[in-house]
Amino acid sequence: MRELKFRAWDKEENGYINLFSKYPMYITFDGKAIKLEDYGCAEYEQDVIIEQFTGLSDKNGKEIFEGDVVKKQTDNPISDGVYEIAWHNPSASFSLKREGGWLAADLTKTEIIGNIHSNPVKE
């Protein structure tokens, strides 16, 4: 079983935040804002985008998260290029996505070059 990890992109700060900096006991996410409640019942709300760890690493050993932008380069130039890592419901897996469609591939043969917030995938 893979380790479950998440990261959060703060829309206002334009960067990733440490969700657990306040040592929360409960995390609630309604699709837009995250609410953290610590042991003292303090609340912290933030407008964020939650991204899940895929359980895989790129060719350099860096953990791949949903929302990462990766470069794929193999012996097949048709499928090479820049992709976004996204959840693909029909295959129930994280896959490579770009304007032309989806590609199920070995994510370990990719290299993370950014994220969709700082550098969206363009063809």
- E-assigned strand segments in 1-123: 6-10, 15-17, 24-29, 33-38, 43-57, 63-65, 68-72, 81-88, 93-98, 101-103, 110-115
Say what the pTM is. Answer: 0.76
* Residue % of the chain over a pLDDT of 70: 74
Residues 93-110: tens digit of each pLDDT = 888 898 878 887 777 789
Q: Does residue 63 have a pLDDT over 70? A: yes
- How confident is the model at residue 32, as a pLDDT? 63
Q: Which residue has the higher pLDDT, 73 or 64?
A: 64
Environment class of residue 108 by beta-carbon count within 10 Å: exposed (0-12), middle (13-18) or buried (19+)?
Answer: exposed
Q: Which domains does the chain have, with CATH numbers?
A: 6-49 (no CATH), 56-115 (2.30.30.290)
In angstroms, the CA 93 to CA 14 distance is 27
In angstroms, the CA 103 to CA 106 distance is 10
